[in-house]
Amino acid sequence: MAGRRTQVQTKLNGEETDFLCEPRQSLLEVLRDELGLTGTKEGCNNGNCGACSVLVNGRVANACCVLGVEAEGADITTIEGIADGDKLHPLQQAFLEEAALQCGICTPGFIVSSKALLDSEPEPDEERVRFWLAGNLCRCTGYDKIVRAVLKVSNTSDNG
């Protein structure tokens, strides 16, 4: 039986919303299992792979390390909130053009994390991009094309 659930009010992908959850449910569980937002992925559930990266109050965090109840009053952005309707964010477009994904499971986390980087530092160099993205594991690409995609966006003025 589910335990007693708390009502949480939060801003999610730009919209005021609320949900019910047990305190023991992580934000990751809430997004995926309660809100149907399955774009944020579980890779390890203990903060070591970044597949569950979301923005919390503008900062990139692992949703598996945040309780759903901590979303109260916070501003959360997930991969589903990165594009503007059907207009892709430049990072999403760059990932497609540079073939920066193979299986795609890590891609939402990388895009959210890269967005956080470019929002705070519009023109990072390769070393900085790699340092920032060290918290996002990819097993398919060897990172080369991911880094190129992020640098491609960072070298233009259109960081959306």
Partner 1 sequence: MQEITYLAPTSLGDVYEALADGKKSVLLAGGTDIIIQLREGRSDAEQVIDLKHIPELTQFAFNSAGDLEIGAAVPFAEIYENAEVIERFPALIDCATLVGGVQIQSRAGFGGNLCNASPAADTSPALIALSAILRIGSANTVRELAVEEFFLSPGQNALEKGEVLLQVVIPNAGTNSGAYFHRFIPRNEMDIAVANVGVSLSLNNAGDLIEDARVAIGAVAPTPLLVSAAAEALIGKEPNAETFSAAGDAAAAAAKPITDMRGSAAQRVHLSRVLTVRALERALERSKGN
Partner 2 sequence: MTTVEKPNYKVIGTRPIRPDGVEKVTGKALYGADIDLPGLVYGKVLRSPHSHARIVSIDTAEAEALPGVLAVMTHADLPIAIAGESDDAAANVLANEKALYRGHAIAAIAATNLHDAEAALAKIKVDYEVLAPVLEVRDAMSDGSPILDESRRTKTLAGSSEKPTNIASHNKLEGGDIVAAFADADMTVEREFVTRMVHQGYIEPHNGTANWNADGTLTVWTSTQGAFAVRSQLASLLRTSVSKIRVIPMEIGGGFGGKIGVYLEPLAAVLSRRIGRPVKLTMERAAVFEATGPTSGGWIKAKLGTKDGKITAAEVTMAYEAGAFPGSPVMAGAMCMLSPYEVENFSIDAYDVVVNKPKVAAYRAPGAPAAAFAIEQLVDELASQGAVDPLKFRRENSAREGSKQVTGVTVPRIGHEETLDAALASEHYNAPIEGPNRGRGVASGFWFNAGMQSSVIASVNPDGTINLIEGSTDIGGSRASLAMQLAETLGITYDEVRPIVVDTDSIGHNDVTGGSRTTHASGEAVYKAGLDIQQQMITRAASLWACDESDINYVDGAIVHVSDDDKNLTFAEMASKQMETGGPMQGKGTVMSRTPGAAFGVHIVDVEVDPDTGKIDILRYSVAEDVGTAIHPSYVEGQLQGGAVQGIGWALNEEYYYGEDGRMENSSFLDYRMPTALDVPMIETILVEVPNPGHPYGVRGVGECPIVPPLAAIANAVHDATGHRFTELPMSPRRVLEELHDIR
* C-beta of 60 vs 73, nearer to partner 2: 60
The H-or-E segment that residue 132 falls in is: helix 126-132
Ramachandran sector of residue 148 (left: φ over 0; alpha: ψ -120 to 50; beta: rest): alpha
CB of 134 to partner 1, least distance (A): 4
Residue type, 78: T
* C-beta of 88 vs 137, nearer to partner 1: 137
The two structure tokens encoding residue 68:
């759903």
Residue 71 binds partner 1 (CB under 8 A): no
Residue 139 binds partner 1 (CB under 8 A): no
User: How far is residue 26 from each of residues 31, 32, 34, 134, 145, measured CA to CA in Å?
Assistant: 9, 10, 11, 23, 31
How many Cβ atoms are within 10 Å of 77's Cβ, its own excluded? 20
Angle at 124 between CA 119 and CA 127, to 5 degrees: 135
Residues 53-72 that bind partner 2 (CB under 8 A): none
Residues 95-134 that bind partner 2 (CB under 8 A): 95-99, 101-108, 111, 126, 129-131, 133-134
Q: Which of 129, 115, 139, 114 is nearest to 43 (CA)?
A: 139
Residue 13 binds partner 1 (CB under 8 A): no
* Number of residues lying near partner 1 (CB under 8 A): 33
The two structure tokens encoding residue 8:
């949480």
CB of 107 to partner 1, least distance (A): 16
The binding site for partner 1 (CB under 8 A) comprises 3, 6, 22-24, 26, 45-48, 50, 53, 56, 59-62, 64-67, 69-70, 72, 113, 116-117, 120, 131-132, 134-136
The binding site for partner 2 (CB under 8 A) comprises 1-3, 22, 24, 32-33, 36-46, 48-49, 51, 78-80, 82-83, 88, 92, 95-99, 101-108, 111, 126, 129-131, 133-148
